[in-house]
A and B are shown apart, each in its own frame.
Chain A
Amino acid sequence: MIQLNNVSKRYHSGPSDYVALRDVSFTVAKGEMVFVTGHSGAGKSTLLRLLTLIERPTRGQLLVHNKNLVRLSRWRVPHYRRELGVVFQDNKLLTDRSVYDNVALPLVASGVAQRDIPKRVRAALDMVGLLSKEKLHPIVLSGGEQQRVGIARALVNRPPLLLADEPTGNLDRQLSDTIFDLFHDFNRHGVTVLIATHDLRQVERLGKRVLTLKGGELVRDTGISE
């Protein structure tokens, strides 16, 4: 599903370069749930940016769904992203649109037939327990509800791979449990999940495989998988 071979990412920053990732290699199999942990600046977000093709690696090989992302042409990028579900720490919801419209966005952008959209949006909202709030705007929702809207949007295209970057960074313990339980639930239904987090309590609670990054290098891979 995901394969990194000696992936490095270097940024040009003033007279000296900044290395965000250095020779990182690992594989995530289909149906796995993996946590990526590490302190701020360890390279977690950079890894997610490479996997979502916001940026490309400076060196190395990066394969997702057997596609070599390093060589993927620009016009194929949107099609690749439709096979991903991405959850962001700051939700990235459109505040001038309703919950329904936010969740429908990936379907509209993917050109899904108009008649199929309402059914799929409501199914995604139902999964995260927000069906009754489809007409509201995100601004009136709580932080946890907003994050669940973001998760519904990530899942509405039924992606085989779900990526999350610090999905509970702004939430309290109880809401964090709810969100991580949702991810666990999706994983049990066959979705491959990769979550970048510094919430070690959740990592321990769910007992999944953990990749630890430090200074851009992969220093530990528990290799635990179900």
Chain B
Amino acid sequence: MNYLLRHAQVLLATLGQMARAPLATLLTLTVIGITLALPSGLYVMLDNLERVSAGWDRGAQASLFLKRNVTEAGAHKLAQQIRAMSSVTGVDYISREAAFAEFKKQSGFGAALNALDSNPLPAVLIVRLAVDNPAAAESLMTTLAHLPGVDLAQLDIEWLRRLAALLQLAERGVVMLAALLSLAVLLIIGNTIRLAVVNRRTEIEIIQLVGGTPGFVRRPFLYSGLLQGLLGGLLAWLLVEASLLLLSGPARELAGLYGSSFALTGLGAEQGLSLAMAGGLLGWLGARLAVGWQLRQIALH
């Protein structure tokens, strides 16, 4: 009980010390907050982009051009067979006549096409895919292309592949940036604590001389690092949410233009608190390294 009470006292004293130097505290917290907000903000943007692209993946379609000898009944039977597949959400049949009529209407060569002896276009099955990545789409396409009656299966998945590669690259970039900026937080807090130890050198020496253990000497500095990191993390969460609030209006408007109800989402409570805790952990670690190194310089024994 006495042990917990002493920890609570150190925690309160550390908060008091931070409150007594509001400008210095605010500056340090702001630097930590911005540093942590950068990778967090990028992560949120990437997460939103992935959600949008996942929607696009689900909207992917394949065109199956049927052999000329496939009858209309045969085409419908094939459509039924494809509909039964789990990774297919729907199949539309476009007959040779319907395809020819559509082509005549859209191409502007109506009169010229009338001169043809026969309809050159094949019947087509439009297959709507329920896959969420290019690899799955490609695998499904191989299956569809080998079905009897299918002459050619076509899917433009290059753009999906490129998007996936870009997202993967961006993800890797965010991880690297997060690692570098975490190191920056570690160094910022470590340096702040190092200066605090230097400023309180006399006090530390006196505490050692009256029987204070290294743990007792370290404790206020560790709490200081922990609190700076924790509050910096909370500030980073706030900055990310505020930025999303500013962007959400234009993003909704843009999505509306594409007929989508997409809305930007932030970190949420769980991820936000994880960010604050990660900040706290980095702060504690930075303080532990700095105070450990610095105390070895002034150890009186």
Contacts and interface: CB of A to CB of B under 8 A. Distances in A.
B213 interface: yes
Contacts of A77: 301
Interface in A84-119: 86, 92, 94, 105-106, 109-111, 113-114
B209 A157 contact: no
Given A77-B301, A78-B213, A113 B2 contact: yes
A81 B6 contact: no
A110 B209 CA distance: 11
Contacts, number: 57
A74 interface: yes
A103 to B, nearest CB: 10
Contact of B300 (A54, A82, A113): A54
A53 B210 contact: no
A33 to B, nearest CB: 22
B206 A111 contact: no
A205 interface: no
Given A54-B300, A74-B301, A92-B206, A110 B2 contact: no
A70 to B, nearest CB: 12
Given A111-B6, A114-B2, A78 B211 contact: yes
Interface in A112-162: 113-114, 153, 157
A52 B206 CA distance: 12
Contacts of A92: 202, 205-206, 209
Interface string B194-223: 000000001101111111111010000000
A192 B212 CA distance: 22
Nearest to A115: B2
Contacts of A71: none
Given A94-B203, A109-B216, A111-B2, A153 B301 contact: no
A15 B15 CA distance: 50
A79 interface: yes
B: interface residue count bin? 20 to 34
Given A53-B301, A113-B2, A105 B206 contact: yes
A74 B295 CA distance: 13
Contacts of B210: 81-82, 86, 105-106, 109-110, 153, 157
B19 to A, nearest CB: 16
A39 B146 CA distance: 105
A: interface residue count bin? 20 to 34
Interface in B257-301: 299-301
B202 A109 contact: no
Nearest to B300: A54
A78 B206 contact: no
B5 interface: yes
Contacts of A82: 210-211
B2 A86 contact: no
Contact of A106 (B6, B205, B211, B213): B211
B286 to A, nearest CB: 24
Interface string B1-15: 011011000000000
B211 A110 contact: yes
Interface in A7-63: 52-54, 56
Nearest to B206: A92
B206 A94 contact: yes
Contacts of B211: 78-79, 81-82, 106, 109-110, 157
14 contacts: A53-B300, A56-B301, A74-B301, A75-B213, A78-B216, A81-B211, A94-B206, A105-B206, A106-B211, A109-B207, A110-B210, A111-B216, A114-B6, A157-B210
Interface of A: 52-54, 56, 74-75, 77-79, 81-82, 86, 92, 94, 105-106, 109-111, 113-114, 153, 157
Given A105-B206, A109-B207, 9 more contacts: A78-B208, A78-B213, A92-B202, A109-B216, A110-B210, A110-B211, A111-B2, A111-B216, A114-B2
